[in-house]
Amino acid sequence: MSAIREPFSEGESLLHRLDPRGKVAAAAAFSVLVASSRTFATALTGLCLAVVAILCARLPWRKVAARLLVVNGFVLFLWLVLPFTYPGEVVWRWRWFAATREGLAAAGLITLKSNALLLGLIALVATVPLVDLGQALHRLRLPDKLCHLLLFTYRYLYVFEQEYQRLTQAMKIRGFRPRTDLHTYRSYAYLAAMLLVRSHDRAERVYQAMLCRGFQGRFYSLKEFSWQPRDRLFLATAGLSLLVLAGLEWLLPWTLGRTGGG
């Protein structure tokens, strides 16, 4: 039996004990800033901030590395394509491949940004148990529908996984072995369709059960979050760091431009 694992949400570090609302808000601002940055200074500082946050969260580094590996697998493809397709000044040539300075810079920037974002989100968002995350988003005035979509997905993902396991086991015990033939494809199509039908039926029954308990379209949250002094400290630190990031992004090119132009 495999439940949905949230390896990063278990921990006793200071970062784990912070109010999830503050962490989510900081993560959102950080993501926007880093994702929209166009300078190496901002991206690099963002990455440093994210690394500091990860260190504070004291997460199992092997698992963090595994996640990084997945993302950097995609980034590797960018390195194979971007430098050779981006128009600009050619700095390296081999046969008919020509890498441009602009292409290399773009690939480098994307690498920095994606790693900074991933580490930042692991440190700030993945350290919140999903249930608390739903409630925190609710408190941050995210639309009800989105919060409930998140919580319901989380709740029933497990049920669907079990359903899937049951179906595949039922196939296996009758001697099904995947091959590359029409029978295999058809069986998998049946499996997918059956999962869809069952999910639909279950959604209906869940809704009926909710109606039976007087559901009128409103959800109530029992979770109480409370601000601690450490949360204020965190928000102040995060706010300051984000200001530095924003400053690097917008003020630095401006001053450089002024001195360069003058």
Choosing from 84, 154, 176, 188, the residue that interacts with another protein (CB under 8 A) is 154
CB 88 within 8 A of CB 102: yes
| CB nearer another protein, residue 142 or residue 206 | 206
- Positions in 178-207 near another protein (CB under 8 A): 202, 205-206
Q: How far is the CB of 211 from another protein (least distance, A)?
A: 7
| CB nearer another protein, residue 72 or residue 221 | 221
Choosing from 2, 180, 216, 226, the residue that interacts with another protein (CB under 8 A) is 216
Alpha-carbon gap, residue 179 to 4, rounded angstroms: 29
The yes or no reply on residue 222 touching another protein (CB under 8 A) is yes
- Could you give the angle at the alpha carbon of 10 between the alpha carbons of 61 and 27, nearest 5°? 75
The yes or no reply on residue 73 touching another protein (CB under 8 A) is no
Choosing from 44, 55, 71, 131, the residue that interacts with another protein (CB under 8 A) is 131
Backbone Cα Rg of the chain: 24
Q: How far is the CB of 220 from another protein (least distance, A)?
A: 4
The yes or no reply on residue 220 touching another protein (CB under 8 A) is yes
Specify the stretch interacting with another protein by CB under 8 A; choose among 21-29, 42-50, 101-109, 127-135. 127-135
For 33, counting Cβ atoms within 10 Å of its Cβ (0-12 exposed, 13-18 middle, 19+ buried), the class is buried
Across 79-104, b (16+ Cβ under 10 Å) vs e yields beebbbebeeeeeeeeeeeebbeebb
Closest CA to 99 of 126, 79, 129: 79
Q: How far is the CB of 208 from another protein (least distance, A)?
A: 5
Choosing from 87, 175, 214, 262, the residue that interacts with another protein (CB under 8 A) is 214
- The enclosing H or E element of 91 equals strand 90-94
Choosing from 85, 153, 165, 208, the residue that interacts with another protein (CB under 8 A) is 208
The yes or no reply on residue 260 touching another protein (CB under 8 A) is no
| CB nearer another protein, residue 73 or residue 217 | 217
For 135, counting Cβ atoms within 10 Å of its Cβ (0-12 exposed, 13-18 middle, 19+ buried), the class is buried
- Could you give the angle at the alpha carbon of 19 between the alpha carbons of 14 and 20, nearest 5°? 105
Choosing from 69, 173, 182, 212, the residue that interacts with another protein (CB under 8 A) is 212
Closest CA to 123 of 241, 246, 256, 249: 241
DSSP-based three-state secondary structure for 205 = helix
Chain contacts with another protein (rule: CB under 8 A): 3, 130-131, 134, 151-152, 154-156, 158-159, 202, 205-206, 208-216, 218, 220-222
